[in-house]
Chains A and B, each alone.
Chain A
Amino acid sequence: MRENDEHTLDWKLSDDIKTGFTVPKNYFKGIEDDFSLNLIEEELPKNNVFEIPTTYFQEFDHHIIEKIKPKKGKILNFKKIKLIPVAATIALIIFFGINFLLNNNSELSSDEIVNWVDMNINTISSDDIAIAFTDINFDDINPYVTIKSEDIIESLINSDDIDFLIEDANINEIN
């Protein structure tokens, strides 16, 4: 009898004991969805279908390092930049002067002017200047012209090299 009581007590005790296992909150809530997703996923292809050139990753490092290195050849001297508007102004004066003297009666389109400047800006000699401006004494021209900061900014904005200038400025700042 005593034995049976103990047996019953043990049985009741084991019935009350919990497993100790727990599951995340809401685990059973979405389990049907997860199961149906798994079934669909199993039907889908999973291969990598994209290919790449054989040496692509080996060469990539070199390409990118080259791109981030400072472009030494492109560093411009700011003093030279200051002279760009001056040079352009002189070139235009020469152009109009020469054409005024040689072609007094003709009318020029803006395209013709631009083309002429493009073609001849590097070929104008000091003699051309002397012929074009016989009545000007170049000794009177002040080479240290004061340039307005707005003009410099405008010149920089219109320049193709603006990206390089910004980059160089950043690098100089870092250094």
Chain B
Amino acid sequence: MDIQKAEKRLKKPEVLNLFEGSKSKIKKLVLIDEIALVEELQNIQTKEKAFRILIKEYKERLYWHIRKIVISHNDTDDVLQNTFIKVFKGIDNFKQDSKLYSWMYRIATNESITFINKRARERNIDITEMKQELVSNLQSDRWFSGNDIELILQEAVATLPEKQQLVFNMKYFDHMKYQEISEILDTSVGGLKASYFHAVKKIELFIKKKTH
């Protein structure tokens, strides 16, 4: 109850205005929190406790990022677990050259791509074919609730080259800023804008062909 009351008070205009004037301070605080969390993660005494906080904070965001790449829920679960295990094992070597979430997103992205590549190798098929096969299973997937046009959109996304697919998902569905995507994918903002432009144009063409 107390938390709900506190949340309501925080959403009042006067409180929001107060925060509006202190955006840079808040950003600084968030950054300090991240640094503190990394320090706790790198300390053997506090590692597990800090890791629980990390999982709580990032599991959903990373899940949806992975899900859009590997499509099925069960595969996403496997990749997400592998991602967190890699984070846990690799956190001692994390030098804070990038933000923690960028580093985790990179691990999640790499794990997802590795997963699809591995599947494609096992099936002896091309990675694009593999992606299309994953999407074609959506119709019978109990964890997919999309209609026809939403299914076509997923099919269209699956036809895109890897970079365009990632940029499209992160920009269109996750509403991420180009600067954030740039840090994760290690690509210039200009390059990302071009990728997104081509991706959207290709998707439009694909949907037109499918629906007309």
Contacts and interface: CB of A to CB of B under 8 A. Distances in A.
A63 B81 contact: yes
A46 B169 CA distance: 11
Main secondary structure of the interface of B (DSSP, over half): helix
Of B55, B56, B154, the most chain A CB neighbours within 10 A belong to B55
A40 B204 contact: yes
B143 A50 contact: yes
Interface stretch (A11-19, A53-61, A106-114, A117-125): A53-61
A64 B144 contact: no
Contacts of A57: 59-60, 63
Main secondary structure of the interface of A (DSSP, over half): helix
B48 interface: yes
A64 B204 CA distance: 40
A67 B85 contact: yes
B181 interface: no
Interface string B56-87: 10011001100110000100010011001100
Contacts of B203: 40, 44
Contact of B153 (A44, A64, A174): A44
Contacts of B60: 57
Q: What band does the interface of chain B fall in when counting residues whose beta carbon is under 8 Å from A?
A: 35 or more
Contacts of B191: none
B44 A44 contact: no
A33 B56 CA distance: 39
B145 interface: yes
A50 B74 CA distance: 12
Contacts of B207: 44
A121 B200 CA distance: 65
B52 A61 contact: yes
Contacts of A49: 144-146, 150-151, 154
Interface in B93-149: 142-147, 149
A37 B197 contact: yes
A13 B150 CA distance: 58
A51 B64 CA distance: 10
A174 B42 CA distance: 11
A47 interface: yes
B63 to A, nearest CB: 8
Contacts of A33: 197
Contacts of A52: 63, 73, 143
B120 to A, nearest CB: 21
A50 B143 CA distance: 6
Contacts of B67: 50
A41 interface: yes
B73 A50 contact: yes
A65 B143 CA distance: 25
16 contacts: A37-B196, A37-B197, A40-B201, A44-B203, A49-B144, A49-B154, A50-B145, A51-B142, A52-B63, A53-B73, A63-B81, A64-B85, A65-B52, A67-B85, A68-B51, A68-B84
Given A63-B81, A64-B81, A68-B48, 4 more contacts: A41-B200, A50-B143, A52-B73, A68-B85
Interface of A: 30, 33, 37, 40-41, 43-53, 56-57, 60-61, 63-65, 67-68, 174
